[in-house]
Amino acid sequence: MRIGWFTTLSSGVLSLILHIVIGALLIISFDFTPKPKTHTRKDINVVEAVAIDKKQVELELARIRKLEEDKHKKEKKRLDDLEKKAKNLVNKRKEEEKKLADTKKKKAAEEKKRKAEQKKIAKL
């Protein structure tokens, strides 16, 4: 039995249409596969690192230490000066008190001498 050209042609067209539909379904199904969602967090702090030369860090550290040392020396000198001034003031005050006491003694001695002389004069 021989099959007619119409049947062969319609079978070929049907086969071609079936292949196109299956191919389209495969392509569409690949396009519609869900893409994996990447969760990006907006509150993440990104660290910005900078490379620093170790010698620069050591130099800066030495500079800061020197500044601190100078600051401590100045403060110590200031305190020493204040202590010296305080001692000088205390010594001056003691000297003034001593002078005042001596003056009072002299005045008292002179007063006593004057009274003694007045008594002598009064007895005469």
Would you state the pLDDT for residue 62? 97
- pLDDT at residue 27 above 90? no
What stretch of H or E contains 30?
A: helix 5-31
- Taking alpha carbons only, the member of 4, 24, 6 closest to residue 14 is 6
Mean pLDDT value across residues 32-48: 70
- Pairwise CA distance, residues 124 & 120, whole Å: 6
Higher pLDDT residue, 31 or 100? 100
